[in-house]
Structures are given as structure tokens and as C-alpha cells.
Amino acid sequence: MWLLSILTEKGGCSRFQFWRMLCFNLYMKIFINYLGQIRLYSLTDLVLLLVVVGTGYHQLFGAVVLHLAFLAYLEHRHAHPYRAKVPVVVVCVLALTGLVYFGKIEGLFYLFFSYLYTRKTKERAFLSPVFRGLQYFFIVAGIIGYSSLIPYFVAIVITIRNLVGDLRDTEKDRKEGVRTIPVVLGVKRSIKHIHLVAMIITSVLWWLIATNPVSYLWLLVVICIEVSTYYLTPR
């Protein structure tokens, strides 16, 4: 308490103001931590993809909530000490809400491959890019069908992007014994910003293949959000 007395006397604030500022800073820290876990850079990229393929409002909302359910379960399962905890009830509520609003069997397929992605082991981590690609394949196919080439193109692009993302964490994965493709291929050093670059490139690709064209200004907004929020995620 002597430290509190010194701070309040020298700072010219009451103890109530001191504790209020302390609580505010604590809650802001927790809020930013959760905001980072949402991965706005990835979420805005997904929203752009959903918009350019002509997704209706209900399905768009459902797809976004399914994506949030995936992220919530990923964080719940990993339980990193430097990330705020996500209760399992939040995962269940998000998953059920997403399924109801998406309204297609592909929503279940999305959750299935989300589950497989989160269950990746050190020995089978090289499969994780494929699971991410299949997530996006079924979510897009559930919207525009299987006769279009777009779901297949999206699956390939997302698989490659996730593989590139593994290059960001090569050194950490090697130390932890996680056998991602870069580790298996003997890549020695992590490439820090490569995943962000890949994210921007995929957003540009979604804009280029649009069946429901949007202004390039929206693309610029998405890219700005990606750049400004990418490093909010605690790693």
C-alpha cells in the first residue's frame, strides 16, 4: 500500500481514480488480447471472399460465425498462457448459431475439418494446410455449388497460403518438434512477414475472381485492416 500512497500523492489523483485507471488498463489488455484472437486480418479476408461470390446476408453471417467458432475452439484447445481463455460454452453457442444461419450441410463439413485442423499432432502437422483448404472449399461450395471452379481454386489458394504461414513459424515449430512441411524440407529460418504478404495477395485474388464485383476501395479497406491488425494476435 505504500507504493499506492506514493503514486497517488505524486500523481495528484485519488485512490479511486488510481484503481479505476488500473482496472481500465487491465480490461483493455484483455479486450485487445481477445481482439487479436479473432484475427481480424483473416476475418476480413473471408468476408471479402464471401461477398464477391454473392453470399446472401444470412449465409454470410452464418459463415462468419462458423469461422469464429473454429477460432474459439482452436484457442480453447491450445490454451496458450499468453492468450486469454475461451470457455467451451462460447464455442458451442457460436457453432450452433453458425450452422443455423448457414443452413447447409457444408457447414458441418466446415466444422469437421476445423476439428481435424485443431487436432493436428506434431507428426501430422504437414496436413494442416490441406484441412484449411477443405474448410474454405466446403464453405464456398455450400454457397455457389460444386459446378463452379471457384471452390476448387479457393481451396488450392488457401492451402498454399497456410503452407506459407508455416514459413513464419519455422524456427518455433522446429524447436517444438512440430513437423510442418517447411521443417520436413529443412528450411532453417522463419520468414517473419511472409504470411501477411500472402494474406494480402489472396484478398487481391478474391477481388479479381469476383462474380459479384465490389469497388477497389473496399479491397483497399480490407488490406488496411489486415496490415493494421495482423500483429495484434499474441504469438
pLDDT digits (tens, 9 = 90+) for 79-92: 555 555 778 898 89
Q: In the predicted model, is pLDDT for residue 2 greater than 50?
A: no
Q: In the predicted model, is pLDDT for residue 95 greater than 50?
A: yes
Gap between the Cα atoms of 38 and 5, Å rounded = 39
Mean pLDDT of 97-104: 96
Q: Mean pLDDT, the chain, as a whole number?
A: 82
pLDDT in tens, 22-39: 555 555 555 555 555 678
Orientation of helix 194-208 relative to helix 40-52, angle to 10°: 20
pLDDT in tens, 172-194: 767 766 767 777 666 667 778 88
pLDDT in tens, 108-132: 999 999 999 887 655 566 788 899 9
What are the angstrom distances between the C-alpha of 29 and each of 19, 35, 66, 82, 226? Answer: 15, 10, 26, 11, 20
What is the pLDDT, as a whole number, of residue 23?
A: 59
